[in-house]
Structure 1
């Protein structure tokens, strides 16, 4: 049993407030595929700010224990304390499974055999496969050298026009992702990721949108074709020698999730660049780290990794962590859904004096590790197995973008150390410009 605290029950009015101020804005922004218009509106209205304040008021009103929402026909509990977040995430997959009703409906559009939505019998070998290929716990993957070469090549011309916007960055980022995962021959296969984008847009609607089985079949077949080439220096090469999983359709669904996750990693990287452009002290430290490194070789880039982690803390790319109980617990009967709204815990002013500041140092001095509510890559047995590979790619890309350059953030947001950072940041409309010496 995860908690001894019987959930308090929210009033109908407070349940409706959670729906209006937390759930609906999250869905509007796009949970599986970000919606540019939705995110632009969310930044303009700063929709995460009232959501964080609401959960703070609910915690004061009902206490720090779980809060039962009044949802007809469902048992849904809202986590309000970091301790409960840690305990629920640590209790995966039993009694709190990552495979929830909503997640199965959404991810099933493009990865029906993905590890996150696998049942208790299928999950262990699929998790082992992900860990065998992605190598969590190792700052530098065995293939870090060819990955670093790919990043260097694609980053080289990004500043050629003297400016850098999301569209330009995103094209290069996806070329990197396809080469890292599938190999050089996949670098220009925009059609593959276009198909994935269409499936992910459907996935935003979960069970409210019919599945495009034909499109999914074409996407999976194309993905398998890339994997079967087993190109050296790519994750496809590691997959070919992996022992945990051999079925092509199962493997393809794990890889589909990696591509999905790398999209969020690009958002994290671009937002981190905006933070560095507007925070001189952090920029100076990052410059020093990049300047002292041999970018022809893989590097750990501890500070730039911390900047990427801080980008996720400030603007979580997974705003809602969901768990579903597989047995009766103090949280409720089997089938109870636990909702962890990460922006609340990552921006909680009551527990973090730096809630609205850019403080990458917390990821280096132990402060973040000592806060169980900070979960940039989730936590517990279901923690993202690709976290170290993502941080390597993000930090290496940042090193190439900032080294020997001065640039400003010229549009999309107003950031800086002299004011609280916005609760919501639209990455799609950020733009940078080089500054002449």
Structure 2
């Protein structure tokens, strides 16, 4: 929580990385699971009904039960996301959610490994990645500037490439959102952010998601700025996952070489192994450490309004898993991950992230462009060796990689 649920705080995450705070959390939940035989555990939260899931079967049941009786719109999310996207699909009520979800899926096209605009997206990524390949070392600050240029081009068009003010405004709103209902809303800043975002959307630049939105002739385009604000927010986590994937590949020469062998062209491609590497990075270091659901009616979990908490690091790093602390991307290719309902890098069920395929495409394409003709090796940061258990908490803000060749 201190590290920032909606926007990460680098200083706090740096401390969390040094102390490896996820490790004792996983051990604690393992003890609780054994003590309570895997049954849900009611937490003592004054004035609230909160249940902690402790089994993979319960994770599957809860996530499959969206939006009723397990709604993704919880009191915590409404308070937090209301700072910058009060009409976003994730916190929409039952009357608005179906149409907004359908609109989001129509634009983001989940289920398609290659979006209809994969070609212009791949070109934008290649152009931006070229600047990074001219660096001798690559750190987070350098990478994230380029990543946000890619994101703005993909979502809003090339005219938005250098509009760092837009994402800076969103960043400030997201920092407020970390405090949820404990921080007053900056209405003026949100309106300025929305105005700026709407100007980019109204331009509907060909080759961008804004153009796809403009082609969606539905009443839900009115809430488009809020949906796009969420996509921009989610792409921040995607950048973290991409940089962490590059870092772990830099420390795993065999996997890095295998990824390089998959790169055989400059156009859009599915890049199955690199996608698996991204998924494995998110398994090892979930960008959404807590999945929350709120019951819409009385269930076996408690009365209506009960919050169900799924702590993903526990299920992704369960010590009973033979691959818990090692980098094993083949999990996502040979069916083992599909057999484990608790491995949920993009959530699961009807409320699964609708941008999952687009994110994997952008991340794997960025990695392909960086690895083409180059190798990376670690320069600074935690040890990510294949010869020892990988760290439970990974601070991406202080990683540094060297380019070789």
Please give the TM-score of this superposition, normalised by the length of structure 1.
0.92
Q: Give, in angstroms, the shift of residue 243 of structure 1.
A: 3.7
In the alignment, structure 1 residue 157 sits paired with structure 2 residue 131: yes
Number of corresponding residues:
405
* Residue in structure 2 matched with residue 143 of structure 1 by the alignment: 117
How far is the alpha carbon of 1:161 from its aligned partner? 2.8
The answer as to 2:248 corresponding to 1:278 is: no
Displacement, 1:170?
0.4
Aligned to 1:197: 171
Aligned to 2:399: 430
| Segment drifting more, 406-415 vs 330-339 | 406-415
Report the equivalent of 1:171. 145
| 1:294 matches 2:273 | no
Q: TM-score, normalised by structure 2?
A: 0.99
Matched, 1:318 2:291: no
Per-residue CA deviation, residues 53-89 of structure 1 (Å, 9 max, x unaligned), is: 0000000111111111111211100000011001000
Corresponding residue to 1:400 among 369, 373, 377:
369
Write the distance in 1 (CA, Å) between the matches of 2:378 and 2:390: 14
Structure 1 ranges of 4+ moved more than 3 A: 243-248
Cα distance change on mapping 1:140 and 1:43 into 2, 3 Å? same
Q: In structure 2, the residue corresponding to 1:376 is in which secondary structure?
A: coil
Deviations 1:128-186 (A, max 9, x none): 00000000000000000000000000000103231111111100000000010000100
Distance apart, 1:242 and its partner CA:
1.2
Q: Distance in 2 between matches of 1:245 and 1:287?
A: 45
CA distance in 1, matches of 2:339, 2:346: 15
Q: Which residue of 1 aligns with 2:346?
A: 377
What is residue 123 of structure 1 aligned with on the other side?
97
Q: Which residue of 2 aligns with 1:12?
A: none
RMSD over aligned CA atoms reads 0.8
Residues 126 and 245, structure 1, Cα contact 8 Å, conserved in 2: no
2:234 to 228, 252, 261: 261
Unaligned runs of 5+ in 1: 1-26
Tell me how far apart the structure 2 counterparts of residues 335 and 246 of structure 1 sit (CA, whole Å).
Answer: 28
- SS of the aligned residue for 2:310 comes to strand
Separation of aligned partners in 1, 2:165 and 2:307: 36
Residue pair 2:155, 2:209 contacting (<8 A) in 1 also? yes
> Superposed, which structure 2 residues align to 1:339-354 within 5 Å?
339-350=309-320, 352-354=321-323
Following the alignment from structure 2 to structure 1, what is the Cα–Cα distance between the partners of residues 260 and 107? 32
* 1:36 alignment partner in structure 2: 10
Q: Does the CA contact (< 8 Å) of 1:69 and 1:77 recur in 2? A: yes
> What's the offset of the Cα at 1:245?
3.8
Q: Do the aligned residues in 1 keep the contact of 2:213 with 2:221 (CA within 8 Å)? A: no
- Say if 2:307 is the partner of 1:337: yes
The residue matched to 1:28 in structure 2 has which SS? Answer: coil
Matches for 1:96-107 after TM superposition, within 5 Å = 96-107=70-81
How far residue 246 of structure 1 moved from its aligned partner, in angstroms, is 4.1
Aligned to 1:72: 46
